[in-house]
Amino acid sequence: MAYTVPKLTDYSEAMLQRVRDELLSALEYQAEETESEADLKNFRDTWVGRKNGVVTQINELWLKAAPKEAKKAVGQVVNELKTSIERYAEQAALLLSGITLDRALDAATRQGETPLPVPYFGYQEIVESEKPSESVDITLPGVRRPLGAEHPVIKTMHEIVGVFQKLGYSVAEGPVVETDYYNFEALNFPPNHPARDTQDTLFIAGQQAKPLRERLLLRTHTSPVQIRTMEKMQPPIRIVIPGVVHRNDPPDASHSPMFHQIEGLAVDTNITFGDLKGTLDHAMKALYGSSVKTHFRPSFFPFTEPSAELYVTCFICGGSGKRGSDPCRPCKQTGWIEVLGCGMVDPNVFEFVKDNGYDPKKVSGFAFGAGIDRLALLKYGVDDLQYFFQGDVRFLEQWA
Ligand code: PHE
């Protein structure tokens, strides 16, 4: 509703004081009554509206109409009122957002929702006044942020690392983008040797101009870190190397172009195949229980000689190959599961780090490399590797 400003019948000090007080109390009253968007619009129209707002009215009816000698006094009152009106208009808007917030908080608490965070008003003067501070109820529950949990693959990795740390092994790491030299050449893969094909290497593009050994690729196994570590540390060494590796394998239930391995390397004088067998047998029992049996079958890797694959009794069927009257699928009814590749470090590999104390005539060692993801699959009874990498929280939280 439009508000008509009182008339100035004279320009005495008492008169100016009276109209000023009258306007101010009307202003204060209406600002306090502003409780909805409609009230706020009405308030603005009344006081600062261009057409017939109070500010316009006092300019026209008081200031412009005043005789010359009264202009200064009237001007002062008009200016003072203008400032007050502007401040009250701002304050009314802020009070309203406080009230709206109060209602939203009330409604949210009634419905058991977590309320939205309370905005910061920025105006000291207003924040300290009563209404907005009432709107922040510090007894409401805070925003709960769910804690993450270890991914089953990382959990398995930590367990294996833990078993070897107890045996006195340290942990080493190396780059995922590797050179041909570390991934192949120093591991005794001759150039153009067919063994390179078995690794389905993903090469970094545009490397043809470089000499072969400097070309970059995504490491296909964690074995290059054997060389990197031997370059830095003299024997004796005992290390495990967990990490991500890549191969050009299309994703399916048992393959992924990205997966995880853990490498082991022990080098000293007089390390024998017996040490390799004893260490891995102990590790498997620590991981899968003391009733697990281990079994080594001959194999081939360019960087170990002799080489072997390690099998353990199937932890699903306990070695029988059967689950009740059904065939056991994870071990393909054999009762054995292949867990890793291993062997005695080939003397040709030591030749590449000979100058750092690895004289093949004086030292010997064993190495192994296990695929962590497959071990996690078996351990957690998951039948599709892809679940591990799809990031679906409903799947992952089963192990949280
Ligand atoms: N690097 C081999 C692989 O990825 C595994 C391995 C590591 C074999 C160490 C022997 C010794 O298949």
Q: Whose CA is nearest to atom 12 of ligand 1?
A: 341
102 Cα to the center of ligand 1, angstroms: 64
Q: Which residue owns the Cα nearest ligand 1 atom 7? A: 369
160 and 286 both lie in a single domain? yes
Q: What is the pLDDT of residue 40?
A: 83
In a domain, 33, yes or no: yes
**Domain holding 264: CATH number?**
3.30.930.10
Q: How many domains does the chain have?
A: 2
Q: Does residue 136 lie within any of the structural domains?
A: no
Q: How far apart are CA 250 and CA 230, in angstroms?
A: 33
Q: How far apart are CA 33 and CA 20, in angstroms?
A: 20
Helix (H) or strand (E) holding 366: strand 364-371
Same domain assignment for residues 247 and 300:
yes
Domain edge (last residue) among 130, 160, 191: 130
pLDDT digits (tens, 9 = 90+) for 343-370: 999 999 999 999 999 999 999 999 999 9
Pairing of strands 258-268, 202-203: unpaired
Based on the domain organization, do 222 and 88 belong to the same domain? no
Dist. CA 152–CA 172, nearest whole Å = 21
Indicate whether residue 315 lines ligand 1 (CB < 6 A). no
How far apart are alpha carbons 27 and 39 in whole angstroms? 13
Give, for ligand 1, the residue of 164, 217, 221 to mutate: max count of ligand atoms closer than 8 Å to Cβ: 221
Task: Assess if residue 145 is contained within a domain.
Answer: no
115 shares its domain with 158: no
Q: Do the beta carbons of residue 369 and residue 340 sit within 8 Å?
A: yes
Q: Are residues 120 and 263 in the same domain?
A: no
What domain range includes position 243?
A: 152-399
Query: How far is 298 from 282, CA to CA, in rounded Å?
Result: 20
DSSP state of 152: H
373 in helix, strand or coil? Answer: helix
For ligand 1, pick from 201, 297, 303, 350 the residue to mutate: most ligand atoms within 8 Å of CB. Answer: 303
Distance CA 135, CA 108 (A): 13
CA of 369 to the centre of ligand 1 (A): 4
Residues 111 and 185 in one domain: no
Query: Are the beta carbons of 335 and 321 closer than 8 angstroms?
Result: yes
Q: Is the CB of 242 inside a 6 Å radius of any atom of ligand 1?
A: no
Query: Do 123 and 157 belong together in one domain?
Result: no
Residue 210 domain flag: yes
> Any bridge partners for residue 295, and if so which?
311
Q: What is the structure's pLDDT at 127?
A: 45
Q: Within this chain, do residues 241 and 194 fall inside the same structural domain, yes or no?
A: yes
The two beta strands, 237-246 and 170-171, are parallel
The two three-digit tokens of residue 282, written as one number: 């102990």
Same-domain check for residues 67 and 176: no
Task: Please indicate, yes or no, whether residues 338 and 385 belong to a single structural domain of this protein.
Answer: yes
Domain match, 210 and 68 both: no
In this structure, are 108 and 222 located in the same domain? no
- What confidence score (pLDDT) does residue 35 get? 81
Mean pLDDT of the chain: 87
Q: Which residue among 130, 164, 181 closes a domain?
A: 130
Q: What distance in angstroms lies between residue 259's CA and the mean position of ligand 1's atoms?
A: 14
Question: Is 126 within a domain?
Answer: yes
Q: Could you say which of 68, 100, 130 is where a domain stops?
A: 130
Q: Is residue 165 part of a domain?
A: yes
Q: H helices within the chain, ranges in order?
A: 13-32, 37-48, 54-57, 71-110, 124-128, 130-134, 152-166, 180-183, 224-232, 273-288, 347-351, 372-380, 393-396
* Domain annotation covers residue 143: no
SS3 per-residue string spanning 265-324: EEEECCCCHHHHHHHHHHHHHHHHCCCCCEEEEEEEECCEEEEEEEEEECCCCCCCCEEC
Domain for residue 8, yes or no? no
| pLDDT tens series, the chain, 400 aa | 567 888 888 888 888 888 888 888 888 888 878 888 888 888 888 888 888 888 888 888 888 888 888 888 888 888 888 888 888 888 777 777 777 666 766 665 666 555 444 444 444 444 445 455 567 778 888 888 878 889 999 999 999 999 999 999 999 999 999 999 999 999 999 988 877 777 789 999 999 999 999 999 999 999 999 999 999 999 999 999 999 999 999 999 889 999 999 999 999 999 999 999 999 999 999 998 999 999 999 999 999 999 999 999 987 888 899 988 999 888 889 999 999 999 999 999 999 999 999 999 999 999 999 999 999 998 888 989 999 999 898 998 888 7
Q: Residues 21-48, buried b or exposed e (16+ Cβ, 10 A)?
A: eebeebbeebbeebeeeeebebbebbbb
